[in-house]
Amino acid sequence: MAYVGVDSAGHSVANRNMMADVVTISDVQVILTQPGSSRLVIVRVLTSEPGLYGLGCATFTQRTFAVQAAIERHLKPFLIGRDVDRIEELWQMSMVHGYWRNGPVLNNAISGVDQALWDIKGKRAGMPVYQLLGGKVREAAAVYVHADGSDPQAVADDAQSLVEQGYRHVRVQMGGYGGPVSGMHRPKDPPDGNYFDPRSYSRAMLEMIDHVRGRLDVSIELLHDVHERLHPIDAVQFAKDVEPYRLFFLEDPLAPEDIGWFNTIRQQTATPLAMGELFNNPHEWRPLITRQLIDFVRMHVSQIGGITPARKVAEFADTFGIRTAWHGPSDTSPIGHAANLHLDVWAPNFGIQEWYRPAEVEYEMFPGMPRVEDGYLYPNDQPGLGIEIDEGLAAKFPVDEIVEQWTQTRLPDGGPARP
């Protein structure tokens, strides 16, 4: 490191050119892999210091190749030669460099670089990222996991199995996000698609939650994800109907386009509400936080641009008594899960962390990936994000080039619906 001295005339001088100490971005690489059902986008930022690099998550599994192109064709040329320490400046400039902003493709691309820069800064400091944020306020993050089944009994059995593994928070679904489809009344020759009936869904889910609540000890917290599938007024009714079961929270009861209805839900029920999975733009979460219309923010960290904006959201929500519950499904990469965990152990207003129970091959592919012990996710305390990637193993799992089916959703009459 350069030091500053004083010459014979009393002027400050450095013992050598200060620019020699600046570490710059030398390359930005994209790694695509699919060890499970989700296509993962990993960003590696290389630096002018030999052997120093960072990893970040840019996973937008439904638009993998668009994110790859955004990084390789647009962000990379802009970033080469920039100072790795200027994370905030690079995030701000990357966000406006394309003029139009706050879209999922660009946000994920920026996130991959942002998380990698935080990883680099931690490695240079010899500290985990949570130390750079301000240090731990807890030793580990409580997680919730998913139970599913074809009927209430099967869901309860799955949930009981998870409880026996040490989990204390369980999200209960039945038949996937749209619920059972058997017996659905449809017109002749309906088009292909992922069908669901909103009214039937509401009835079936209430029956299922009632059954599971009766099976599990009252100390086990239950959650449920509506996945924006109900019409707003039906979401209001569902939130009221589920209130006696005292959910830990009801997840994404409304679509982003319908957030004006949160005021009505809030007036009608005390069911805790979590929202944000599809959010990209601060204008989507700000009114829900400032008006205290939700209890948990649960954005997808790469979807909003990485650790830099997520830290600000957590601090902003904390001033209004709202907790974090970052999105953590299989289409967040292990790099992204590590980033979530650093935010979790630092944030004073942490609530819960979604966890998807990765396969063993993912632990092999991503050395340092955090593990759950008795319902808690623990950081490994290594510098940076504390996670690596075995690129040779990742290459053995190339991404599929498919057209997504589950997002081609339809109502019983065949009309398109939001997923």
- The string of pLDDT tens digits covering residues 91-109 is 999 999 999 999 999 999 9
Residue 354 and residue 141: Cα distance in Å, rounded?
10
**Residue 189 is assigned to a structural domain of this protein:** yes
State the catalytic residues.
177, 227
59 domain-assigned: no
> Residue 18: pLDDT band by 50, 70, 90 thresholds?
very low
> What are the structure tokens assigned to 48, written together?
């002018």
H helices of 70-197, in order, are 76-79, 87-97, 104-125, 129-133, 152-164
Confidence of residue 411 (pLDDT cuts 50, 70, 90): very high
Residues 6+ apart with CB under 8 A from 294: 262, 273, 274, 275, 288, 322
| Percent of the chain with pLDDT strictly greater than 70 | 95
Does residue 20 lie within any of the structural domains? no
3-class secondary structure, 53: strand
Q: What band does 20 get if pLDDT is binned at 50, 70 and 90?
A: low
Strand-pair category, 372-373 with 376-377: antiparallel
Residue from 362, 363, 368 nearest 382 by CA = 368
Residues 6+ apart with CB under 8 A from 77: none
Q: How far apart are CA 254 and CA 262, in angstroms?
A: 8
Does residue 15 carry a pLDDT above 50? no
What residue numbers bound the domain in which 246 lies?
Answer: 132-383
- The model carries a pTM of 0.93
Q: Are 114 and 46 in contact (CB under 8 A)?
A: no
Summary count for the chain: helices (H), strands (E): 14, 17
How confident is the model over 251-310, as pLDDT tens digits?
Answer: 999 999 999 999 999 999 999 999 999 999 999 999 999 999 999 999 999 999 999 999
Q: Which residues contact 250 (CB under 8 A, 6 or more apart)?
A: 223, 224, 226, 238, 239, 242, 271, 272, 273, 274
Please check whether residue 73 lies inside any domain of the structure.
Answer: no
Could you give the CA distance from residue 369 to residue 387 in angstroms, rounded to a whole number?
Answer: 6
Treating both helix axes as pointing N-terminal to C-terminal, what angle do 198-215 and 152-164 enclose, rounded to 10 degrees? 50
d(CA 271, CA 153): 24
Which residues make Cβ contacts (< 8 Å) with residue 125, sequence separation at least 6? 131, 132, 383
Is 63 in contact with 387 (CB distance < 8 Å)?
no
- Yes or no: say if 323 and 348 are a contact pair by the CB < 8 Å rule: no
Residue type, 403: V
Q: Could you tell me the pLDDT band of residue 21, with boundaries at 50, 70 and 90?
A: confident
Residue 289: CATH number of its domain: 3.20.20.120
What is the pLDDT at residue 16? 39
Long-range contacts for 33-37 (Cβ within 8 Å, ≥24 apart)? 33/365, 33/394, 33/395, 33/397, 33/398, 33/399, 34/397, 34/398, 34/399, 34/400, 35/359, 35/361, 35/362, 35/365, 35/394, 35/397, 36/330, 36/358, 36/359, 36/362, 37/330
| Torsion from C-alpha of 62, 64, 70, 71, nearest 10 degrees | 140
- The answer to whether position 107 is within a domain reads no
pLDDT at 126: 98
Report if residue 55 sits inside a domain. no
3-state secondary structure string across 311-339: HHHHHHHHCCCCEECCCCCCCCCHHHHHH
Instruction: Give CA–CA dist 418/411, Å, rounded.
Output: 9
If one counts the domains in the chain, the total is: 1
Question: Is residue 51 exposed (0-12), middle (13-18) or buried (19+ Cβ within 10 Å)?
Answer: exposed
Confidence of residue 10 (pLDDT cuts 50, 70, 90): low
Residue 78 lies in a domain: no
- For the record, the structure tokens of 81 come out as 């030669």
92 lies in some domain: no
Q: How confident is the model at residue 183 (pLDDT cuts 50, 70, 90)?
A: confident
Contact residues for 413 (Cβ-Cβ < 8 A; gap 6+): 186, 187
